[in-house]
Amino acid sequence: MSSQEVTLRSTVGGFTAEGKLHTLSVWFILALRLMIGLAFFQSGLDKVLSGSFSAAGYLQNAPPANGSPVADLFVAMGSTPWFVELVNVAVPWGEVLIGLGVIVGGLTRLASFFGAFMMLLFYLGNWDISHGYINGDFAYMLVFLSVAAFGAGRILGVDQYIEAYDVGGETLIERYPWMRYLLG
C-alpha cells in the first residue's frame, strides 16, 4: 500500500465493502464538514436574527400541499400550540448550534446526528419527488451522516483535542468509550 492511500473495510449484514482512499480525501471530508456547518449556521442565524420565524403555517400547510406521506403528522404537530412553540425555538437555535458544532468540529457526531434528523424531517415535510426521491434535503442528510461516519471533527477540529484529554492517565475516549458516539 502506498503512503498516499488508506484502506477502508466494513462488513454489514454479511456484505463487505472495501476501498482505498487517497490521503487528499481528508481535505474533501473537511470541506464537507465546513460546507454543511456553514449552511446550517447561516440558515439558523437568519431565522434567529429575523425574530419572526414561525413553523405553524409550514407544518399545517406545506406537507399536505406537496403530498407528503406523513402530512397528517405534520398537521397534528402544527395544530399543537406547545409543540409549535418548541419548534419555533428548536429549529433556528438547533440550526445555529448544529452549524457551530460542525464548523468547529466539536461534538461533531452528536451535532451531525441532529443535523441528519432535521434534514430527514425537512425531507418528509418538503416532499417533492417530481424529479425522483433524491433531493437537496436528502443529500444534506447524507452529508451529515458522512461527516459523522468519517469522524470529521478530528480533522482540524476540537474533537481531536477533547478525545485526547487526559483523565487519570487515560485519554477521555479510553476512559469513556461511549463518548465515541458524540465526538469525532
110 close to 101: Cβ distance less than 8 angstroms: yes
Query: Distance between the two ends of the chain, CA-based, in angstroms?
Result: 26
**Burial 48-74, CB ≥16 within 10 A → b, else e:** eeeeebebbebbbebbeeeebeebeeb
pLDDT tens figures, 77-86: 999 999 999 9
Q: What is the pLDDT of residue 3?
A: 58
pLDDT tens figures, 53-66: 999 999 999 999 99
User: How sure is the predictor about 71, in pLDDT bands with cuts at 50, 70 and 90?
Assistant: very high
User: How sure is the predictor about 1, in pLDDT bands with cuts at 50, 70 and 90?
Assistant: very low
Grid coordinates representing 47 are 431565522
pLDDT tens figures, 89-113: 999 999 999 999 999 999 999 999 9
SS3 for 21-87 is EECCHHHHHHHHHHHHHHHHHHHHHHHHHHCCCCCHHHHHHHHHHCCCCCHHHHHHHHCCHHHHHHH
Is the per-residue pLDDT at 159 higher than 90?
A: yes
Is the per-residue pLDDT at 4 higher than 70?
A: no
Grid coordinates representing 53 are 420565524
